[in-house]
C-alpha cells in the first residue's frame, strides 16, 4: 500500500543553498507525525513545500494518490491539506468569529459564497470551534486584540474549521504557557485518527506526549525515524544535537 503522504527524493535549492537535500518522508493515514531537528534542518521548508508555498527543484510529492507537484496553493488546500504557520497568521482586523467563518471553507468558489444569509449557516460550527479552543468570550473581538497564546489557539481552531485531512503544524505551542501546552496536547490527541497531522516542534516533552513516530531531520535530510526512545538512543541523532546538551533540552 502506498503511504498517504509521500515525499520522494525532494530537493529545494535557494540560489545554490540546499534547504532540502534528497529528502524522503512517508506518512500514513491517521498518523500524528512529529518532525524535529536542529535549527536549519529544513523542517519548515518541508512544510512550505507540502502546502505549495515553495516548489521543489527535484523530486516529487504525492498525497492520497495525487501528485501535488506544481499545483497552486489553493488547489493543494482543496486537496485536503491545511497549514498552521510558525508566526501565527490570522486576520487581525476581523473578529474572532469572522476568522473562524472564513476558515469554514467547505465551498471555496466565489459564486457559492454570494448567497445572502450564508454567514448564519456557519454559526453553529463557529460556536463549537470557539468552545473547543476556549475563545467563546472573545468572539466579537478583532483578532488583533488577542494575546499571543490566544492567537495560536485561534489559528488552531481555524485549521480544525477547515477540516483538512492532513494538517501541518509549525511550532503550535510557541509562546504558550505550560498549561496551555498541555491543553494543546490533549486537543492533538483528539484530532489524531480523524486527521493526519505533521507537527514541527522543539518541545520534547510535548513531542513525547503526542507523537507515535518521530522523524528527525538534519541538514535537509531525514536522519532517523522511530519512537521517542529509539530516537533518544540513536547515536546519529545525538551527534547532530551534540554540544547542545542532548535532544531533551533542544
Partner 1 sequence: MMQPKSIDPISRHRPSAELVAILLVCALVIVAPVLLNNDYLLNKVARYLVLGMLAMSLSLSWGYAGILNLGQAMSFGLGSYAMAMTLKLKTVPVHTGPQGLPDFMVWNNVTQLPWFWWPFESQTFAIFAGMAIPAAVAAALGWFMFRGRITGVYVAIITLAAMVVLNLVIIDQQQYTGGFNGITDLAQLELFGIAFDAYGRSTYYLVAICMTGALLGAYAFTRTKAGLIIQAIRDHESRVRYFGYDVGAYQIAAFALSAAIAGLAGMLYTIVMEFASPTFLGVQLSLSVVVWCAVGGRQSLLGALLGAILVAGVQGALSESATFLETWTLVMGGLFVLIVLFLPKGLAGLVSSLWTLARQRSFRPFRSLHRIGQTEGGA
Among candidate residues 52, 113, 45, 107, the one with its CA nearest the CA of residue 82? 52
Spatial contact of 80 and 5, defined as CB atoms under 8 Å apart: no
Least Å distance, CB 107 to partner 1, is 8
Nearest approach in angstroms of CB 135 to partner 1 is: 10
User: How far apart are alpha carbons 13 and 181 in whole angstroms?
Assistant: 34
Nearer to partner 1, 91 or 174 (CB): 91
Binding residues for partner 1, rule: CB under 8 A, are: 51, 53, 72-74, 77-78, 82-83, 85, 89-94, 97-99, 101-103, 105, 108-110, 113-116, 118-120, 122-124, 126-128, 131, 136-137, 139-140, 158, 162
Counts of helices then strands in the chain (DSSP H, E): 10, 10
CB of 34 to partner 1, least distance (A): 21
Q: Are 199 and 188 in contact (CB under 8 A)?
A: yes
Do 172 and 156 contact (CB within 8 A), yes or no?
yes
To partner 1, the closest distance from the beta carbon of 147 in angstroms equals 16
Nearer residue to partner 1 within complex by CB, 107 or 190:
107
> Whose Cβ is closer to partner 1: residue 131's or residue 230's?
131
Unique residue bearing C-alpha cell 519512537: 227
Residue 217: CB minimum distance to partner 1, A: 22
User: Which lies closer to partner 1 via its Cβ, residue 1 or residue 87?
Assistant: 87
Question: Would you say 223 and 212 are in contact if contact means Cβ atoms under 8 Å apart?
Answer: no
Amino acid at each position: 500500500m502506498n503511504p498517504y503522504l509521500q515525499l520522494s527524493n525532494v530537493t529545494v535549492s535557494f540560489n545554490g543553498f540546499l534547504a532540502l537535500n534528497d529528502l524522503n518522508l512517508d506518512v500514513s493515514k491517521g498518523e500524528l507525525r512529529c518532525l524535529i531537528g536542529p535549527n536549519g534542518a529544513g523542517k519548515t521548508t518541508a512544510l512550505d513545500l507540502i502546502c505549495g508555498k515553495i516548489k521543489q527543484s527535484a523530486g516529487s510529492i504525492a498525497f492520497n494518490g495525487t501528485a501535488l507537484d506544481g499545483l497552486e496553493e489553493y488547489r493543494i488546500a482543496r486537496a485536503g491539506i491545511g497549514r498552521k504557520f510558525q508566526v501565527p497568521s490570522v486576520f487581525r482586523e476581523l473578529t474572532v468569529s469572522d476568522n473562524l467563518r472564513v476558515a469554514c471553507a467547505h465551498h471555496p468558489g466565489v459564486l457559492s459564497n454570494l448567497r445572502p444569509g450564508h454567514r448564519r449557516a456557519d454559526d453553529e460550527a463557529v460556536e463549537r470551534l470557539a468552545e473547543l479552543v476556549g475563545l467563546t468570550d472573545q468572539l466579537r473581538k478583532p483578532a488583533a486584540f488577542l494575546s499571543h497564546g490566544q492567537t495560536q489557539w485561534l489559528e488552531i481552531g481555524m485549521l480544525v474549521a477547515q477540516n483538512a485531512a492532513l494538517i501541518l503544524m509549525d511550532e503550535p505551542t510557541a509562546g504558550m504557557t505550560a498549561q496551555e501546552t498541555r491543553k494543546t496536547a490533549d486537543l492533538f490527541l483528539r484530532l489524531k485518527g480523524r486527521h493526519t497531522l505533521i507537527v514541527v516542534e522543539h518541545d520534547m516533552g510535548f513531542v513525547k506526549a503526542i507523537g507515535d513516530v518521530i522523524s528527525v531531520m538534519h541538514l535537509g535530510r531525514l536522519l532517523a525515524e522511530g519512537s521517542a526512545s529509539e530516537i533518544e538512543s540513536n547515536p546519529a541523532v545525538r551527534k547532530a544535537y551534540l554540544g547542545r546538551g542532548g535532544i531533551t533540552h533542544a
